[in-house]
Structure 1
Amino acid sequence: MAKGKVTIKQDRCKGCGLCVSVCPKEVLALDKKVINDKGYNPASAVKPEECIGCANCALICPDVVITVERD
C-alpha cells in the first residue's frame, strides 16, 4: 500500500531521469509514449502503489516539478 502520492508537472519536466535513478521502489519511469510541449519524454509514476513517501525524487528534481504527499 502506498505511503505517499507522487505528482509530476509533466508539462514542465525535461526528462533528465534523475528522479527515476533515486527512487528506491522504482515508482517512476520516463514515459516514452508521451512528448510534452518542450519536446521531452516526461517522468511518470508507473507504480504509484509502491511509493513509500521518501520524497527523494522531489528533492533531486532540478526543475522542482515533483511533489510528494505523505499519508
Structure 2
Amino acid sequence: MPRIIVDDHFCKGCGLCVDACPVDIIELDYKKITAKGYHPAYLTDEDKCTGCMSCATMCPDVAITVVR
C-alpha cells in the first residue's frame, strides 16, 4: 500500500503538496510546530493514497518521500 513520509526537518508548511494531492489526503498539522517554526504536512488517510507522487513532485524542499 502506498504512503508518504514527510521529513519535518525540511518541510516548511508551504501547502503545495496539500493543493497537489488529487485525493485530498494531505493536510498541514496545526497542532505541531517543527524546530524551524513551521506546521508540517501529514497524511490523513493512508488507505486512500494512490502513490501518484504529485505531492513529492510539487514539494520545493524535497521533504516528501513516496513509498509504494
Give the Cα separation in 2 of the matches to 1:39 and 1:69: 27
Q: TM-score, normalised by structure 2?
A: 0.94
* Residues 23-71 of structure 1: CA deviation (Å, up to 9, x unaligned): 011111000000000100000111111100100000010000101122x
Could you say which residue in structure 2 is the equivalent of 1:26? 24
Give the Cα separation in 2 of the matches to 1:53 and 1:42: 19
Unaligned ranges ≥5, structure 2:
none
SS class of match (1:67): strand
Give the Cα separation in 1 of the matches to 2:65 and 2:3: 8
Could you say which residue in structure 1 is the equivalent of 2:40? 42
Unaligned ranges ≥5, structure 1:
none
Q: Report sequence identity in percent.
A: 47
The CA RMSD over aligned residues, in Å, is: 0.9
**Number of equivalenced pairs:** 68
1:53–1:69: 8 Å Cα contact kept in structure 2?
yes
